[in-house]
Structure 1
Amino acid sequence: MLDAVELVDGVVMRLLDPGDGPALAEAYARNREHLAPWEPLRTPEFFTAAWHHRDVAGALARLQAGTSLPFVLVEGERVVGRLNLSDVVRGVFQNANLGYWVDGEATGRGLATMAVGVALHHARAAGLHRVQAGTLVHNTGSQRVLERNGFARFGLARRYLRIAGEWQDHAMFERLLDE
């Protein structure tokens, strides 16, 4: 099992736990407006503990299958962020997709930058060759986090994901882990 890592000032990054559903529901509800411009439209059910209990179970099944590394950032019992290495592909690709968010009240502390660095360490330890991430073209903050962690922009994916109710272009970034 992967060890928890203290990022800064008592904020810990650890693997998702089966009991994290209620804390995740509370975190998403607390950050509803903060995350809305960067995420898909959410149904009212998304903000319930029951929805997140099911989502956590699915994420842990993907962890066991070796196709995902799901992390949370916690401060005490409170979730203040989430980071996923998902869609792990083995064989000749050895790639994962990276996604993350940080609580609106916890931004500006370097948490995302540190968490991405820890995730890259785990990706390397898992034998991955490459990690990729997409950001909305206007999400310069997230792009800076990636660049600080050695990611390079490699393209533009037009109308890549339906975010905030609209198909939106994404700047694509990659990090080769043997560099």
Structure 2
Amino acid sequence: MPFAVSLSDDVVLRDVTIDDAGPLADAYRRNRAHLEQWEPARPDDFFTEAAQKRVVDLQLEQAAGGRGLFLVLAAGDDVVGRLNLSDIVRGAFQNGHLGYWIDAELAGRGLMTRAVVSVVEHARAGLRLHRLQAGTLPHNAASQTVLTRAGFQRFGYAPRYMRIAGEWQDHVLYQLLL
């Protein structure tokens, strides 16, 4: 069942499609400086349509296997953000990892909080997950605010958890029991 939620008059949260490869590449190039402190170091090839097509192909395969939910925030034909539930594990765990970013021009408008709240409800009612988890860099107050407003609670601190901006960096861990 396709996922689509209107977040504002001009922004929709919806399933990623292969047709988003070009707009994703544009969005990543437009936001390269904005995102580089929050994401893994990216090779120049990452910012091309061909690379984004490979990423989306893999994500669509994972989604078809029930291992992820991969979404874009779209304003018309432009991609202005991403929101993903990845590493979905079933069985006794019923857990997914939440990750997201929004275009620098749209930050601070509450769009990502609305997007996360929408995905939380879908994870609960549609995907029937038990738990969502997310991690943020300790100094990423904006992302921590999004998670807190969406009902997540801090549950841990992970030293050198993930390689971000070329360095192993600590993360604050959040969870939401659904």
Q: Measure, in 1, the Cα distance between the counterparts of 2:75 and 2:62.
A: 25
Greater displacement, 117-126 / 142-151: 117-126
Q: Measure, in 2, the Cα distance between the counterparts of 1:5 and 1:76.
A: 14
Q: CA RMSD in A?
A: 0.6
Question: Aligned residues, how many?
Answer: 177
TM-superposed deviation, 1:4:
1.4
Alignment partner, residue 48 of structure 1: 48
Is residue 154 of structure 2 the alignment partner of residue 159 of structure 1?
Answer: no
Question: Deviations 1:116-163 (Å, cap 9, x if unpaired)?
Answer: 011111111211000000000110110010000110000001100010
Q: Measure, in 1, the Cα distance between the counterparts of 2:150 and 2:94.
A: 19
Greater displacement, 9-18 / 29-38: 9-18
Q: Measure, in 1, the Cα distance between the counterparts of 2:173 and 2:38.
A: 15
Alignment partner, residue 33 of structure 1: 33
Question: Deviations 1:40-87 (Å, cap 9, x if unpaired)?
Answer: 111010000000011100000000000000000000100000000000
Counterparts in 2 of 1:83-94, with a 5 A limit?
83-94=83-94
| Aligned amino acid, residue 176 of structure 2 | R
Q: Measure, in 2, the Cα distance between the counterparts of 1:136 and 1:22.
A: 29
Q: Measure, in 2, the Cα distance between the counterparts of 1:2 and 1:71.
A: 10
| Aligned amino acid, residue 6 of structure 1 | S
Normalising by structure 2, what TM-score?
A: 0.98
Structure 2: runs of 5+ lacking an equivalent = none
Q: Measure, in 1, the Cα distance between the counterparts of 2:110 and 2:18.
A: 27
Alignment partner, residue 112 of structure 2: 112
| Aligned amino acid, residue 167 of structure 1 | W
Q: Measure, in 2, the Cα distance between the counterparts of 1:168 and 1:12.
A: 32
Alignment partner, residue 127 of structure 1: 128
Alignment partner, residue 174 of structure 2: 173
Q: Measure, in 2, the Cα distance between the counterparts of 1:141 and 1:107.
A: 9
Q: Measure, in 1, the Cα distance between the counterparts of 2:176 and 2:93.
A: 13
Deviant stretches of 4+, over 6 Å: none
TM-superposed deviation, 1:3:
3.5
**Corresponding residue SS for 1:38:** coil
| Aligned amino acid, residue 110 of structure 1 | G
**Corresponding residue SS for 2:168:** strand
**Corresponding residue SS for 2:51:** helix
| Aligned amino acid, residue 2 of structure 1 | P
